[in-house]
Amino acid sequence: MNMKYSIIVFISLLFSVGAAACSPVRGEGIQPDRDIKMPDDGLMIPRPMEARRLEGYVDISQPLCLKIDAQDDVAESLTKYLRTSSLSIVGPALSDMPLLLTVSEDEKLPSSEEGYHLVISNDGISIEARGRAGLFYGIQTILQLKNMYGASIPAWEITDWPRFGYRGMHFDPVRHFFSKDFLKKQIRMMASLKMNRLHLHLTDNEGWRLQISKYPRLTQYGAWRLGDIWDDWNKTGRRFVNQGTAGAYGGYFSIEDMKEIVAYAKERNITVIPEIEMPGHAFAMTASYPELACVSNEFSPVGEICIGKDSTIEFLKDVLTEVMEIFPSEYIHLGGDEYSIDYWAKCPDCRRKMAEMGFTDAHQLHGYLFRTMEEFLAGHGRRLIGWDEMLTGGIAPDATLMSWQDEKAGQAAALAGHDVIMTPGEYCYFDGCQDSPEKEFRTPDSPPALWNFLTLQRVYSYDPAPLSMQGRERVLGVQACSWSEWMPNEKRVEYMIYPRMFALAEVAWSNLNEHRDYTEFRRRALRLCDWARNEGYNTFDLANEIGERPSSLKATEHLGYGCEVKYNKPWLPDFPCDGVKSMTDGIHGKWTYRVNWQGFKEMDVVIDLGESKTVKEVRADFMQYADDRVVLPGKIVISCSEDGKNYTELLSLDNPYDVYKYLYRTYGWKGAERKVRYVRLQASPALEGGSVFCDEVEIW
């Protein structure tokens, strides 16, 4: 039984206050409707909900007298954390400088258990909260001020609480394995940023990274492959090998390793959520135990497990039983994304199960699997969470979905009665480059990235639950994802996530609707980047970023601006941009072909200027992202006409395929002035089976 008590210990911190005896410091409490703007010297990330600058600065170069008025477990836990945070305890004769931590039910405090009221003044430092989490986050604010200002920090009164209860970061040690120490390092940063969920993607096609005692072959075989580079392994047949094989790449977390990580995170108010991927992304599982697949073949594993076999269900339950023994998290993530029904539709066991359940579509097996797993988890006091594809087969209302495909998937899930974690790729996937691809990937050998180009500014602009969203009350929070296909080492992971994690942390914690000032945030992020690099984090060079594609920042008005466009060949259905307005709306594309670029298998457009005009130049931008077979034109023809029937060729250009991954090129004609009403541009891809993407046809 916990008893509330007070302890006084004297701690030599990295900070202290310069005054007085240990006595509580009170503030006015919260007033949610106040509009208090953080002054320019308020450098914290995430920004507090309410902050008032007090007079002066406080000297924190001396030890502090720590007093904790809280339950036994809270006081012991915080004392342990302070000790592990390079804080040394000294005798009472060495300090009388107060740091007061109080658990209170005062109605003036934020209602959230993670909220706190902090006062830093000449009288000392005081933190009040409703529980351990709030006190912990108050400590993080003090430590961050120390990191930013050094020995003399500004005096503040801060009342702070999170916008969302779920503030997550995802790591993928499957495609490339990362060490226990690396995860602890990221946990420390997450805690500083007041993030509270660590989602670990522990199984996938490329490896199984968690020891399961009952099924040792999952890590003895499924955790090891030939080829450390993910793409090389894909190209060489996706072969696994036994642990100890010469040249084998891989690794896994032992049960004790993972328990250590879970405990380390818990001390920092972070819950670790494990992901055991099913029914797809299962090569490592079916290679280790071929009988789990519809077609049993160790050397050519199948990506989906066989749902029709009862033995498969029992295998999964056995695995999850051990997972739940390691992870106390309420949520257990079961994936559920990017699966194929091809094998299920042909498999006798799956067809038998479909008949038994009265299913008419193999997709319904997916729903059956997750309803079964949800019931199993619920029987152990846990909850199912998975990617938004779980909606496909029909799942029970208690499942929580992570919306990754786009924001619409999350909105649909919320309207269907599901709790939702927003993690759309266009804002929250940190595996795409964060600056000009031409700068980030200068040569074919430069470290690649996935498709989405995502600037710090775009992350900061995200609102996971806007006022216009129906079902917004179902949004529990937001999460960033770091998939490691193209992150072969730990330095590369850090380069990709920092400083974008800073922005996501502020989106998750702070109410930015009234204070979304990116210029001001960027100043704070620059300071935090400097500190992070000094602490050994490999951050992106924000100070020297190019930012979004310069030509996309402002509309270009030319002779063809707003003119009618005839499409002799259709655009790609998935990439219409703004339809018939796209080629003459003056808007150039972003760095990614998914924003303001129109795609074609063959491009053939005619711009009608409305009347004969004097023209001396025609040009158009194209881009290349070779991984998705978006390539530059191999042939470009520009021609003009007065009557729309008889055309004069102005340019015919053959352009051989260039293997560089990211390319942006302008092609065009420039010559003597001529009277023109119609301008025609034709472009075909330089690579068979590829497509061309254009953002604007400029006429001058």
Record the pTM: 0.89
Residues of the chain predicted below pLDDT 50: 1-6, 8-37, 39-40, 87-88, 91
Q: How far is CA 335 from CA 273, 279, 366, 385, 430, in A?
A: 12, 8, 11, 8, 19
Tokens 């760095």 found at: 591
d(CA 243, CA 609): 68
Q: What is the predicted pLDDT for the residue at 256?
A: 98
Q: Which of 117, 281, 333, 366 is catalytic?
A: 281
Token pair 């915080």 is found at 78
CATH topology of domain 4-160: Chitobiase; domain 2 (3.30.379)
Length of the chain: 700
The span from the CA of 103 to the CA of 220, in Å, is: 48
- Close Cβ partners of 415 (under 8 Å, ≥ 6 residues apart): 470, 471
Q: Give the strand pairing for 400-403 and 420-422.
A: parallel
Separation CA 135–CA 268 (nearest Å): 11
Boundaries of CATH 2.60.120.260 in the chain?
550-699
- Residue 230: the pLDDT is 84
Q: Which residue out of 310, 338, 342, 473 is catalytically annotated?
A: 338
Using CA atoms, how far apart are residues 583 and 598, in angstroms rounded to an integer?
A: 8
Side-chain-side CA neighbours of 228 within 13 Å: the count stands at 10
The CATH class that applies to domain 166-285+331-342+384-389+401-544 reads alpha beta
CA–CA separation, 249 vs 179, rounded Å?
13
Per the annotation, the verdict on 314 as an active-site residue is no
Q: Enumerate the CATH 3.20.20.80 domain ranges in the chain, comma separated.
A: 166-285+331-342+384-389+401-544
Examine the residue annotation and report whether 338 is marked as an active-site residue of this protein: yes
User: What is the pLDDT, as a whole number, of residue 21?
Assistant: 36
Catalytic residue among 69, 160, 172, 204: 204
Phi and psi (nearest 5°) for 174? -85, -60
Going by CATH, does the domain composed of 550-699 fall within 2.60.120.260? yes
Compute the chain's Rg from CA coordinates.
Answer: 29
At 97 the pLDDT is 65
Active-site annotation holds for 204? yes
pLDDT at 151: 77
Q: Any bridge partners for residue 332, and if so which?
A: 384
Q: What are phi and psi of 188, to 5 degrees?
A: -60, -45
- Cα–Cα distance, 533 to 379 (Å, whole number): 46
Comparing CA positions, the residue from 390, 416, 268, 408 lying closest to residue 333 is 390
Using alpha carbons, select from 405, 364, 402 the residue that is nearest to residue 386: 402
Q: How is the chain split among helix, strand and coil, in percent rounded to 5?
A: 30, 30, 40
pLDDT value at residue 149: 86
Please answer whether residues 455 and 433 qualify as being in contact, where contact means their C-beta atoms are separated by less than 8 angstroms. no
Strand spans (E) along 4-138? 4-12, 50-59, 64-71, 88-90, 98-103, 116-121, 124-129
Q: Which run of H or of E encompasses 676?
A: strand 662-685
Q: Which tens digits make up the pLDDT trace of 604-616?
A: 999 999 999 999 9
| Token duo for residue 66 | 């720590």
Q: What single DSSP character describes residue 473? A: G
Distance CA 344, CA 337 (A): 16
**3-state SS class at 536:** coil
* DSSP letter, residue 289: S
Is 199 within 8 Å of 168 (Cβ atoms)? yes
Q: pLDDT for 685-694, tens place per residue?
A: 999 999 999 9
Burial 309-346 (b: 16+ CB within 10 A, else e): beebbebbeebbebbbebbebebbbbbbbebebebbee
The Cα 177–Cα 473 span in angstroms is 37
